[in-house]
Homo-oligomer: A and B are copies of this chain.
Amino acid sequence: MSTTTPLAPGLDHLGNLPAAEIQRLADRANALRTGAAPQRFAGKALGLFFLNPSLRTSASFQRAAARLGLELVQLRGDGVWGLEHQDGVVMDGTTAEHLREAAPVLGRYVDLLAVRAFHGAGSFEECRQDPIMQGFRRWAGVPVINMESARWHPCQALADWATLDQHAIPKRAKFVLSWAWHPKPLPHAVPNSTLCMAAQRGMDVVLLCPPGLELHDEVLAEAEQLATTHGGSLTVTHDREEALHGAAAVYAKSWGSQQHWGDLESETAFRAALRDWCVTPAWLGDSARFMHCLPIRRNVVASDAVLDGPQSIVLDQAEHRLHAQTALLESLLS
């Protein structure tokens, strides 16, 4: 309950943390998973604010807060007044409250604020600037946890790191992030965070996608640098066979193309020929683990046989949301 401070700490992008700190959080997540007792923070409060739908993130943060003895304040975007994030705007339209008020008000009520805000419409460049999440971070006056913005999904990435450890996937193993077909163009937050996470873990990271579906240059550059720094590598390829050969983990995810951003008709036409980008057991071979952040469209992003087969670890990833976020909250509140 402090006053407004520009960019109070918290967690916006996993890559902003040192790898050793991430490893410490992942280790703690695995300790919590196997029975370690969480710390207790009597009298501290966590706010959860969802401006977009959520199943895993909402449920796992609620449980994490309860395990830590935190007081909980929950809000949903459709239960509050329409929020504005642009500076200097004359608010005579549909939005009724500016983040410049909403964020610091919530910051007066809680010690830590977690926000999901993908951002709705807007150019790719606007999404990349992540104005809603950055508004919360700038104006809340308390640390803000990004529960998925237009740009990053650090809690998913932390859980995925811990899941890779749980399954003893080595640091130098081959990690393939593959685009998959989906009826709608989706945000880049998960693939951005996944790519950087695997690179920072020091893996041999392969981004596999059809031409035109590469991630943003800035993300590729950051992943490249993280890989170099941590002893791994980054390869971008459209060649499925080459990419999948020898993979220890195949992480599927769909996302929209930068070129067709905001133009649903052109995007739909562009991806019409790409429906075979659906992960089947053949993609995995005998040993690659299958990963996805969920929710996943069955027989669209991956086949039933993949999801119901022994190589899928998607439920472990989801379970680690609870443990990773418990570890994160412990760390931020300690």
On A, residues with C-beta under 8 Å from B are: 1, 3-4, 43, 45, 47, 50, 53-56, 58-60, 62-63, 66-67, 71-76, 78-81, 84, 88-93, 95-98, 100-102, 104-106, 108-110, 183, 294-300, 304, 307-308, 314-315, 318-319, 322
Query: What residues of B have a CB within 8 angstroms of the CB of A98 in the complex?
Result: 296, 298
Given contacts A81-B55, A322-B108, contact A299 B88 (CB under 8 A): yes
Q: A79 contacts which of B76, B88, B294 (Cβ < 8 Å)? A: B76
Query: What residues of B have a CB within 8 angstroms of the CB of A59 in the complex?
Result: 47, 73, 75, 105-106, 109-110
Q: A60 contacts which of B109, B298, B299 (Cβ < 8 Å)? A: B109
Q: List 29 A-B contacts (CB under 8 A).
A: A54-B79, A55-B80, A55-B106, A58-B80, A59-B75, A59-B106, A59-B109, A59-B110, A62-B72, A63-B71, A63-B109, A63-B110, A76-B79, A81-B295, A88-B299, A89-B298, A90-B299, A90-B300, A92-B183, A92-B297, A97-B295, A97-B296, A100-B307, A101-B294, A101-B314, A101-B315, A102-B295, A105-B315, A108-B319
| Residue of chain B at shortest CB distance from A295 | B97
Contact between chains at B63 and A73 (CB < 8 Å): yes
Contact between chains at B299 and A97 (CB < 8 Å): no
Q: A298 contacts which of B47, B84, B299, B300 (Cβ < 8 Å)? A: B84
* Alpha-carbon distance between A81 and B17 when the two chains are bound, in angstroms: 30
* Alpha-carbon distance between A38 and B314 when the two chains are bound, in angstroms: 38
Query: What residues of B have a CB within 8 angstroms of the CB of A298 in the complex?
Result: 84, 89-91, 98, 100
Query: What residues of B have a CB within 8 angstroms of the CB of A102 in the complex?
Result: 55, 295
Name A's interface SS. Answer: mixed
Contact between chains at A108 and B300 (CB < 8 Å): no
* Whole-angstrom distance between the Cβ of A199 and the nearest chain B Cβ: 27
Query: What residues of B have a CB within 8 angstroms of the CB of A92 in the complex?
Result: 183, 297, 300
Query: What residues of B have a CB within 8 angstroms of the CB of A318 in the complex?
Result: 101, 105, 108
Query: What residues of B have a CB within 8 angstroms of the CB of A66 in the complex?
Result: 45, 71-73
| Copies in the assembly, this chain | 3
Assuming A55-B81, A92-B297, A96-B297, what are 8 further A-B pairs, CB within 8 angstroms? Answer: A53-B80, A59-B105, A63-B110, A84-B298, A91-B298, A93-B183, A97-B295, A100-B298
Query: What residues of B have a CB within 8 angstroms of the CB of A73 in the complex?
Result: 59, 62-63, 66
Query: What residues of B have a CB within 8 angstroms of the CB of A315 in the complex?
Result: 3-4, 101, 104-105, 108
Q: A299 contacts which of B3, B75, B89 (Cβ < 8 Å)? A: B89
* Alpha-carbon distance between A56 and B105 when the two chains are bound, in angstroms: 7
| Residue of chain B at shortest CB distance from A316 | B108
| Residue of chain B at shortest CB distance from A60 | B109
| Residue of chain B at shortest CB distance from A301 | B91
| Residue of chain B at shortest CB distance from A299 | B90
